[in-house]
């Protein structure tokens, strides 16, 4: 009997992130509360970081809120962004360096495998493959049950189910 499988991944579309940043920059340029204020948003796709710079903590929070709404509208999962507290920067400004998690971190992958084992689904096996988890079983119904179980639990990253065969 052939086994069926699917992959659990956590992708981030950096083109959509860039589009959201452009929209957020445009909105910041038009907003009255940001007139004459310093507000910068920079994406470093190679290091997978976003850098926000603002005059003070209040403007920083407003800037992050604008960016969040733009990311949500473009279907970018906010769970994949690790937001630290702001830190002082040059010229009396504040900086916030947000890391973008692409792929499933090893701790979350282990938690996914453990969660599926704890559910005691018949013949469902999960294997960690790099930054994704492959779940396989002879029964497609069991795989559907596994997807449902994973959707109900929060692993700290947005899960995407693909490559279903």
What are the residue ranges spanned by the domains of the chain? Answer: 4-11+104-162, 14-100
Q: Do the domains 14-100 and 4-11+104-162 match in fold?
A: yes
Q: In sequence order, which residues have a C-beta less than 8 Å from that of residue 124 and are 6 or more positions away?
A: 116, 135, 136, 137, 142, 143, 145, 146
What pLDDT is stored for residue 71 in this prediction?
92
- What are the per-10-residue average pLDDT scores of the chain (165 residues)? 82 90 91 85 90 90 92 90 87 90 87 86 84 87 86 85 81
CATH fold for the domain made of 14-100: Alpha-Beta Plaits (3.30.70)
In sign, the C-alpha dihedral spanning 153, 159, 160, 163 is: negative
CATH 3.30.70.860, domain 4-11+104-162, yes or no: yes
What pLDDT is stored for residue 137 in this prediction?
87
What pLDDT is stored for residue 1 in this prediction?
57
What pLDDT is stored for residue 4 in this prediction?
84
What pLDDT is stored for residue 96 in this prediction?
92
What pLDDT is stored for residue 86 in this prediction?
86
């Amino acid at each position: 009997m052939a086994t069926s499988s699917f992959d659990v991944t956590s992708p981030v579309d950096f083109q959509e992130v860039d589009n959201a940043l452009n929209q957020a920059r445009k909105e910041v340029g038009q907003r009255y509360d940001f007139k004459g204020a310093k507000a910068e948003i920079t994406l470093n796709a190679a290091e997978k970081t976003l850098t926000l710079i603002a005059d003070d903590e209040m403007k920083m929070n407003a800037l992050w809120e604008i960016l969040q709404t733009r990311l949500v509208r473009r279907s970018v999962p906010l769970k994949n962004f690790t937001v630290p507290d702001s830190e002082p920067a040059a010229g009396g400004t504040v900086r916030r360096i947000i890391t973008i998690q692409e792929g499933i971190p090893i701790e979350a992958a282990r938690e996914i495998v453990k969660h599926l084992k704890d559910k005691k689904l018949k013949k469902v096996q999960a294997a960690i493959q790099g930054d994704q988890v492959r779940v396989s079983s002879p029964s497609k119904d069991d795989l559907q049950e596994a997807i449902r179980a994973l959707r109900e639990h929060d692993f700290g990253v947005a899960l995407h189910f693909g490559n279903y065969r």
